[in-house]
Amino acid sequence: MAEHLGLHTVGDLLHHYPRRYEERGQLTHLADLPMDEHVTVVAQVADARLHTFASSRAPRGKSQRLEVTITDGSGRLQLVFFGAGVHKPHKELLPGTRAMFAGKVSVFNRRLQLAHPAYELLRGDAEETVETWAGALIPIYPATAKLESWKIGKALQTVLPSAQEAADPLPESLREGRGLVTLPEALLKIHRPHTKADIEEARARLKWDEAFVLQVALARRRHTDAQLPAVPRRPRPDGILAGFDDRLPFTLTEGQRKVSEEIFADLATDHPMHRLLQGEVGSGKTMVALRAMLAVVDAGGQAAMLAPTEVLAQQHHRSVTEMMGELSQGGMLGGAENATKVVLLTGSMGAAARRQALLDLATGEAGIVIGTHALIEDKVQFHDLGLVVVDEQHRFGVEQRDALRGKGKQPPHLLVMTATPIPRTVAMTVFGDLETSVLDQLPAGRSPIASHVVPAADKPHFLARAWERVREEVEKGHQAYVVCPRIGDEEDGAKAKRKSPEDEAEKRPPLAVLDTAEQLARGPLAGLRVEVLHGRMQPDDKDAVMRRFAAGEVDVLVATTVIEVGVNVPNATVMVIMDADRFGVSQLHQLRGRVGRGSAPGLCLLVTEMPEASPARQRLNAVASTLDGFELSRIDLEQRREGDVLGQAQSGTRSSLRMLAVIDDEEVIAEAREEATRIVAADPDLERLPALRTALDALLDEEREQYLEKG
């Protein structure tokens, strides 16, 4: 159990909840079985036939194959046993027998089948099975090939009595106030329910546990952070921020003003700000972040902005110096008198430039530094680091944020920006230690983006029309992006490794930048200036291509997702995404945000060969139908299940949520957050709630503890 399911203690096993329940009187829907998954079904044998045939091992026709058909009223499923493995099932699986079968669903001769499934007969009268499957509801556990659901079930029967000793983490008053059952009772009901109401009661209670313990951990984080000292940073009335605002050629949106005020209020306190700034693609987050950085420079501090890639760091540096004009030329001829220096620090800089940048940071000459992970290295010393801005949080490990925080004399203020809108509850769960600000208006002058799905396989003429549209835009003096999932110079070995069922169905590797660029330049886009951009190019080459594209010397840029984040070329009006089904929903939304950044309307074409009814096509239709990133992030989550969002992406361990569904249980999470904040405020060390402390320690085992520490 430890090896296959990560279950080490009796507690772990008790918290390994059934995925669903089979009813003895009803049978599973064989019609809805998923491909390539381990399934457990309860069904009845309809017929069994033994065939003998000739094979290489037994040329005289002595090989045996047993084919058993099982049915559940909704559909039929073929089971196959071979060789010596046929004898036992041939004796036991007689027509009319009911059993649980577990195995991996595959397709043979266009029919679903289970090859060599494990099975457990349900005799209904024998002592043991009645004991094991007490009640009409049979729990089906998340299982693996080595550990079938019923083995887990039997193990649970053995340890269930000790559920009585489970320490209850919920404070008595809270549990009674919300009418929740006790923990031992919940564990008993989840594993041995007699009615569906039992399951509901148990789930309601166990969901609360998860939400509450997690929110208490986050509330304690916030509480501890609020005790940390920080230097208050208030802008001067006649300082660099005022000078910057005077130069702005446009007025800030209502949203930008509101969020800026929240940030300035945080910066003025003597505790470190921890704020998450969510903004739609192109809502002007960079502007808000820059004003915060200038406020800190005004107050005598320094600000650092971390970008996930060099291309992006260079770009931020370019746009910040452009926006600031002479205010960014501190100490230089032509610089304004209250100007500061804005330096760039990346891994691929030349030694001399790097030395100068490090010097400017150490002396305080540079008020703003923009860079990649290179900023975190030991050699980098700050004069007085007051604010850290992290761009695109989901690309950026928690450890790195922490390392940068350690560079200040006192903890610096922290602003995390993300353009991937996160539904409120996920923000409360994943970034529960950050206060959240949302920018949801687009700045004036931004154009709407029209999105369309181009079904290349069903309607090839649509694809031809897409290339015509690209030509038309270029003729009007605009530019275009073509995005592909792969670069195209990989070794073949990499392609052979993992094939998902979709790949198998298509028998075609995803389209590559290098091949596509060549085909377009020779074919539908002949005569246009086509260039490529991808992650394996030298940083200088990448930058040169981006500069040429920005300057309008390139008509069509064929690229991988390196352009997903932050690339800003207002003259680019059309984007064609090849094999769009290979990208995630939020990724497509991010990519699409690269067009329509100027006054001309944007167009995004999602090219796919997936058939009409496939989930991939439904996903693309969803992206095409709305420009609302929050709506899309909900769709995305519902399709990917929260585990990916919370678990892997955040701490690398598996998601600690077993019962809670982040999207559906919005109320539980919001209420748990309030309760947790209240309890921690009254008793930060939880001295009066020992059982809650125990549960916290279990949740925050070493890894998660470090992860939250660094969060």
pLDDT, tens digit (0-9, with 9 covering 90-100), for 167-217 = 888 888 889 999 999 999 999 999 988 888 999 999 999 989 888 988 888
Select the highest-mean-pLDDT range: 434-438, 539-543, 545-549: 545-549
Lowest mean pLDDT segment, chosen from 342-356, 357-371, 379-393: 379-393
pLDDT at 496 over 70: no
Structure tokens at 238: 């006649």
Structure tokens at 581: 């089904």
SS3 assignment, position 282: coil
Residue of 20 and 156 predicted with greater confidence: 156
Lowest mean pLDDT segment, chosen from 438-452, 481-495, 677-691: 481-495
DSSP result, 310-364? HHHHHHHHHHHHHHHGGGGBTTSTT--TT--EEEEE-TTS-HHHHHHHHHHHHHT
Of 241, 339, 342, 218, residue with least CA distance to 291:
241
pLDDT at 265 over 90: yes
**pLDDT for position 60:** 66
Question: What region does 61 belong to: left with phi over 0, alpha with psi -120 to 50, or beta?
Answer: left
Q: Average pLDDT, stretch 422-441?
A: 73
**pLDDT for position 590:** 79
pLDDT at 523 over 80: yes
pLDDT at 656 over 60: no
Spell out the residues 6+ positions from residue 583 whose beta carbon is closer than 8 angstroms to its own: 485, 561, 577, 591
pLDDT at 527 over 70: yes
> What torsion, rounded to 10 degrees, do the Cα atoms 250, 256, 257, 258 define?
160
pLDDT at 644 over 60: no
Structure tokens at 233: 């940073």
Query: Please, which pLDDT band fits residue 562 given cuts at 50, 70 and 90?
Result: confident
pLDDT at 36 over 70: no
SS3 assignment, position 435: strand
Q: How far, in Å, CA of 615 to CA of 619, rounded?
A: 6
pLDDT at 329 over 70: yes
Q: How far, in Å, CA of 172 to CA of 146, rounded?
A: 41
**pLDDT for position 268:** 93
DSSP alpha helix (H) spans, 74-177: 87-92, 127-132, 149-159, 172-177
**pLDDT for position 261:** 94
Q: Average pLDDT, stretch 591-618?
A: 84
Query: Please, which pLDDT band fits residue 498 given cuts at 50, 70 and 90?
Result: very low
pLDDT, tens digit (0-9, with 9 covering 90-100), for 658-674 = 666 666 777 888 888 88
**pLDDT for position 637:** 66
**pLDDT for position 505:** 40
Which CA distances in Å does 198 have to 161, 195, 256, 583, 661? 17, 5, 50, 41, 19
Q: Average pLDDT, stretch 257-273?
A: 92
Q: How far, in Å, CA of 195 to CA of 627, rounded?
A: 44
**pLDDT for position 336:** 64
User: What is the percent of the chain with per-residue pLDDT over 90, rounded to a whole number?
Assistant: 18
**pLDDT for position 59:** 64
Residue of 413 and 537 predicted with greater confidence: 413
CA angle centred on 627, ends 625 and 629, rounded to 5° = 115
**pLDDT for position 660:** 67
SS3 assignment, position 559: strand
Residue of 600 and 710 predicted with greater confidence: 600
Give the pairing of strands 98-108 and 76-82: unpaired
pLDDT at 649 over 70: no
pLDDT at 362 over 70: yes
**pLDDT for position 142:** 77
**pLDDT for position 564:** 59
Residue of 150 and 254 predicted with greater confidence: 254
Rg (CA), the chain: 30
pLDDT at 127 over 70: no
Query: Please, which pLDDT band fits residue 266 given cuts at 50, 70 and 90?
Result: very high
**pLDDT for position 380:** 86
Contact 393, 416 (CB under 8 A): yes
